[in-house]
Amino acid sequence: MIATLAIEAGDLPLGGGLLALVRPALLLLEPGGILAVRSSAASVVQDLPSWCRVERHRYLGYEDGRHLIERGSLGAPRGAREWGYRLKKPSAAEVVRAVPMPDTANADTGFAPRGARVEPGGPRYPFDLLERDRVAPPEVAQLYDQAVAAQWDVGRDIPWDTVGEHDPAIESAVCQVMTFLAENELSALYVPSRFIARIHPAYVETAMFLSTQLADEARHIDVFLRRARVAGGGLGVSSVTTSRSLLSLLEYEDFTEAAFVLSVLGEGTFLDLLRFVEEHAPDPATAEIARRTRNDESRHVHFGLAHVRHALSTDPTLFGRLEAAVRRRAATLHDVGGVPTPLQDSLTLLAAGSTEPRAVARGHEAFRALLEAMHAARIKRLDRAGFTAEQAELMSTLHTANFM
C-alpha cells in the first residue's frame, strides 16, 4: 500500500500528543487518501484502530513498523487547501487576487473567512447579499486600501486657529451650512450601515470598504459640528425638506438602489456643494474642512459608481429599476419645495462674503450657477454609469432639491 502522506510519531501514545500529528495530517488528505504513521509505541497498536473506528477512518493495518489509515469522508472540510501563495504586498487588493471572490456565496459558511476550508454541517446565516455582481465591483479592495491610507484626524489636520472673527452674518451662514452638512452626513452614516450585516463574508472587502465609509461619515459629522461651534455661532436650523428627503433614503431595501440614490446621486451632488464651500470659505480652516471631506466623498461616489456600473453590466433590467427607484422617491417628495431656504440664503451669503448688496447679488448668481453645475455633473455621472442621455436628464431633474 503506498501512503500519500507519512508522519514520524516516535513513541507518542494516542492520548499523549499523537493525535496532534495524526489529525492535521489527515486534514491534508482528500477522503480515500492514505496516511502512514511510523510509531514505536506499543499502546498505539490497540488505540489507533479504535480511534479510527470512532472517527470513521479506515484502519488498514500495521506493516513495516507503520500504521496505515485511509482518510474517511466524515467531517471532511470543503474546498482545497490554500498553501504556498505568498502575498507580494499585504494589501486587500492582493488578497483578492490570491483568493478570488466566488460568483455566488454559500449562506452556510457563516463567518468563515474566504479561503478557509469549512467543515460541513454548520448553521445557515441570514446573509442575503450572496451574488458578487450585486455586491462587490472589481475595484472594491483597491478602494478599501486607498480609504485606509487616506484617513485623517479632525483635531490634528484642520488649522483650527485660522477661523478667527467674521461678520456675524457670515459666521451664521457658515454655521447653517455646517448644520445642513452634518444632518445629511448622519444619513450617509446610517444608510450604508443597514447593508453591512446583509453582505456575505465572501465579499468582506465590500463590508470593509463600507466600514471605512462609516468612519469617514462619523468624522464628517464631527468636523462640521465642531466648525459650527468653534467660533461661538452654534447650530442653525434643520428643515422639513431635509428631514423628508433623508427619511426617503432610509426606505430603500435594495443595496444597489440605495447605493445609486445615496452615493451616485446624493454624494455626487455633495461633491459640487463641498467645492462651493471650499471656494467661498471665509477662512482656511473651513476651506480645509470642505477640501478633506470632499476627498472622502469622491471615494464614496467612486464606489457607488463602480457598484452600479458593474451591476448594470450584468443585469440590463436594472436600468429600469433604478429609474423607477428615483421616480418613487420623487413622488414621495413631490410637495416638498426647492432647496431649503436657510441653506439657500447661507450659501448665497457665503459666496457674497459680506452683506453689502452688490456682493449679495454676486452671491445669488454663484448659488444659481452651483445648481446648474450640480445638474450637469449628475448627468455626466449617470452617463458614466451607462444611462442614456434621456434617462440621465430625467433622473437628474427628479433628484431631490435637498441635494442628498
C-alpha cell at 32: 480515500
Nearer to Fe ion, 191 or 333 (CB): 191
Distance of closest approach, residue 292 Cβ to Fe ion, in angstroms = 10
Other Cβ atoms closer than 10 A to 368? 11
Distance of closest approach, residue 213 Cβ to Fe ion, in angstroms = 6
C-alpha cell at 241: 425638506
Which member of 292, 300, 302, 399 binds Fe ion (CB under 5 A)? 300
Span interacting with Fe ion, options 5-13, 291-299, 303-311, 316-324, rule CB under 5 A: 291-299
Residue closest to 82 by CA, chosen among 111, 114, 108: 114
Between CA 219 and CA 231 the distance in angstroms is 19
Q: Are 323 and 391 in contact (CB under 8 A)?
A: yes
Distance of closest approach, residue 211 Cβ to Fe ion, in angstroms = 13
Distance of closest approach, residue 180 Cβ to Fe ion, in angstroms = 12
Span interacting with Fe ion, options 54-62, 75-83, 262-270, 331-339, rule CB under 5 A: 262-270
Span interacting with Fe ion, options 69-77, 91-99, 188-196, 332-340, rule CB under 5 A: 188-196
Span interacting with Fe ion, options 7-15, 35-43, 114-122, 263-271, rule CB under 5 A: 263-271
Span interacting with Fe ion, options 150-158, 281-289, 292-300, 385-393, rule CB under 5 A: 292-300
Distance of closest approach, residue 185 Cβ to Fe ion, in angstroms = 5
Distance of closest approach, residue 274 Cβ to Fe ion, in angstroms = 9
Other Cβ atoms closer than 10 A to 176? 24
Q: Which of residues 200-239 bind Fe ion (CB under 5 A)?
A: 217, 220
Q: Are 282 and 353 in contact (CB under 8 A)?
A: yes
Distance of closest approach, residue 304 Cβ to Fe ion, in angstroms = 9
Q: Return the H-helix or E-strand segment holding 58.
A: strand 58-63
With 0-12 / 13-18 / 19 or more C-beta atoms within 10 angstroms meaning exposed / middle / buried, residue 72 is: middle
Q: Which of residues 103-122 bind Fe ion (CB under 5 A)?
A: none
Q: Which of residues 27-86 bind Fe ion (CB under 5 A)?
A: none
Planar angle of CA 267, 177, 262, nearest 5 degrees: 15
Distance of closest approach, residue 215 Cβ to Fe ion, in angstroms = 10
Nearer to Fe ion, 185 or 283 (CB): 185
Q: Are 354 and 365 in contact (CB under 8 A)?
A: no
Sequence-distant (≥ 6) Cβ neighbours of residue 121 within 8 angstroms = 75
Per-residue string for binding with Fe ion, 128-167, x by CB under 5 A? ----------------------------------------
If one asks whether residue 267 binds Fe ion (CB under 5 A), the answer comes out as: yes
Residue closest to 170 by CA, chosen among 294, 273, 277: 277
Nearer to Fe ion, 96 or 305 (CB): 305
CA dihedral 208, 212, 213, 214 (to 10 degrees): 100
Between CA 297 and CA 307 the distance in angstroms is 15
Q: Are 9 and 21 in contact (CB under 8 A)?
A: yes
Residues forming contacts to Fe ion in the complex (CB under 5 A) are 185, 188, 217, 220, 267, 297, 300
